[in-house]
Amino acid sequence: MYRVVEARPLADRVHALVIEAPHVARNAKAGQFLIIRKEPGGERIPLTVSAVDDDRVRVIFMTVGATTHQLAELQPGDTILDVAGPLGRPSEIPSGETCVVVGGGVGIASCPILARTLREAGNRVIGILGARTAELLILEDEMRTACDELYLATDDGTKGRHGFAADVLKEVIESVQVDSVWIIGPAIMMKVTSEVTRTAGIRTWVSLNPIMVDGTGMCGSCRVIVNGEVRFACVDGPEFDAHGVDFDHLMQRQRFYFEEERHALEHHHATRCGCSGEERHG
Ligand SMILES: Cc1cc2nc3c(=O)[nH]c(=O)nc-3n(C[C@H](O)[C@H](O)[C@H](O)COP(=O)(O)OP(=O)(O)OC[C@H]3O[C@@H](n4cnc5c(N)ncnc54)[C@H](O)[C@@H]3O)c2cc1C
Ligand code: FES
């Protein structure tokens, strides 16, 4: 059993949990993820390592379906049945480069640990955070500390530049010699944003989030296509060369269990609060 030591909302439908998990915290590196199972018979869900501190690990998640809604109800002192990890390959960290870390939406969760790791390895780090609206721009202070420079963008112009993170990235690579870029966010955002660096020939990594089940390379559910080859995101990734990723295939597979997920969420709402599940819950 793993004890929750901190649980707090960060924004609308976005929550942070700090969990006591010494074996994970001591070994986790930027780019890796955990698989969490809240209770016996519960779904196993992958969440990125957002921060580590002594024997604690932080995850940040958006409530999208039944399991993330259950996690959002946890309070300090509650326990989680399984925290498996760290899983996946750590980010490949260069040194002496100018690196850009672009986070979109809840993908921002994994940006500070990556930015910090890059900086500690002697890189100059430029951060770009993008979200739909100001309230969803999480972890701004942590990123300001972790990066040499930080730019913000919101779709509705309520904070930072009015526009997308991709627009800011375009301006940055036009004004600075950039060596490597990481883009972490929803699949469509990673697809669009990585086009900015394709023509400039800048090495670009994206962190892929296909459906995962076992997280150990055995079940095949997380298969993605990169440079025309099948790769398993849980063991070969989750970070891959952005310019080789077949994003349309990824997005199609992410919708594979849509009906089952909808039923599970309706069941969660019906049993927990008696509503139809069509309302939004934080
Ligand atoms: C390596 C990795 C790291 C991730 N890190 C984060 C994170 O830090 N924060 C965050 O909010 N989300 C993260 N996700 C996505 C997160 O795992 C899903 O949001 C979660 O599993 C949804 O579960 P649910 O039961 O609440 O929703 P469901 O109703 O079951 O699903 C809602 C949507 O979530 C996705 N999803 C569902 N089950 C899985 C699964 N087993 N594996 C992957 N995706 C799934 C699908 O796109 C689905 O349509 C990550 C996914 C991967 C693969
Ligand atoms: S999650 Fe099963 S092979 Fe990757």
Distance CA 53, CA 210 (A): 27
Which residue has the least CA distance to atom 2 on ligand 2? 219
Residue 199 belongs to what domain range?
A: 91-207
The pLDDT, as a whole number, for residue 276 is 43
Ligand 1 neighbour 18 (Cβ under 6 A): no
User: In this model, does residue 81 exceed pLDDT 60?
Assistant: yes
Beta bridge mates, 124: 98
Q: Is residue 74 part of a domain?
A: yes
Exposed/middle/buried for residue 229 (C-beta within 10 Å: 0-12, 13-18, 19+): exposed
CB 151 within 8 Å of CB 169: no
Q: Return the higher-pLDDT residue of 156 and 280.
A: 156
Q: Which residue has the higher pLDDT, 89 or 66?
A: 89
- pLDDT of res. 271: 62
42 and 97 belong to one structural domain: no
- Residue 99 has phi, psi (to 5 degrees) of -120, 145
pLDDT computed for residue 279 by the predictor: 41
Distance 55 CA to ligand 2 centre (A): 27
Please check whether residues 229 and 174 belong to one and the same domain.
Answer: no
* Atom number of ligand 2 nearest to Cα 217: 3
Q: Is the shortest distance between the CB of 44 and ligand 2 below 6 Å?
A: no
Ligand that comes closest to the CA of residue 234? 2
In this predicted structure, what is the pLDDT of residue 122?
98
Q: Which of 62, 87, 112 is the last residue of a domain?
A: 87
Q: Is 91 in the pocket of ligand 1 (CB under 6 A)?
A: no
254 CA closest ligand 1 atom index? 47
Q: What does the pLDDT read at residue 255?
A: 72
Phi/psi at 94 (5° precision): -80, -175
Atom of ligand 1 nearest to the CA of 87: 1
List for the chain the helix, strand, coil content (%; round to 5).
35, 30, 35
Based on its alpha-carbon atoms, the radius of gyration of the chain, rounded to whole angstroms, reads 18
pLDDT number for residue 147: 98
CATH number for the domain that contains residue 15? 2.40.30.10
Query: How confident is the model over 45-66, as a mean pLDDT?
Result: 95
pLDDT digits (tens, 9 = 90+) for 189-205: 999 999 999 989 999 99
Per residue in 207-232, pLDDT tens? 999 999 989 999 999 999 999 999 99
CA–CA gap between residue 264 and residue 42 (Å, rounded): 11
133 plus 154 within the same structural domain: yes
Question: Quick one: which atom of ligand 2 is closest to the CA of 220?
Answer: 3
- pLDDT higher than 50, residue 278: no
For the cut 50, the answer to whether the pLDDT of residue 282 exceeds it is: no
- Which residue's CA is minimally distant from atom 53 of ligand 1? 209
pLDDT band at 258 (very low <50, low <70, confident <90, very high): low
Q: How far apart are CA 51 and CA 27, in angstroms?
A: 12
Does residue 108 fall inside a structural domain?
Answer: yes
pLDDT of 273 strictly over 60: no
Atom of ligand 2 nearest to the CA of 215: 1
Percentage of residues in the chain with pLDDT exceeding 90? 85
pLDDT tens figures, 150-186? 999 999 999 999 999 999 999 999 999 999 999 999 9
- Ligand nearest to the backbone CA of 238: 1
Percent of all residues in the chain with a pLDDT value above 70, rounded to a whole number = 90
Number of domains into which the chain is organized: 3
Our answer on whether the CB atom of 234 is closer than 6 Å to any ligand 2 atom is yes
The residue out of 156, 191, 207 marking a domain boundary is 207
Is 282 inside a domain boundary? no
* Section 246-253 average pLDDT: 92
Residue range 53-78: mean pLDDT, rounded: 95
Q: Are residues 202 and 95 in the same domain?
A: yes
Residue 67 beta carbon below 6 angstroms from any ligand 1 atom: yes
Cis peptide before 46 (omega within 30 of 0): no
pLDDT recorded at residue 254: 78
Within 8 A by CB and 6+ apart from 142, the residues are 51, 112
The domain boundary residue, chosen from 87, 116, 140: 87
Q: What is the pLDDT of residues 95-152, one digit of tens each?
A: 999 999 999 999 999 999 999 999 999 999 999 999 999 999 999 999 999 999 999 9
Residue 181 lies in a domain: yes
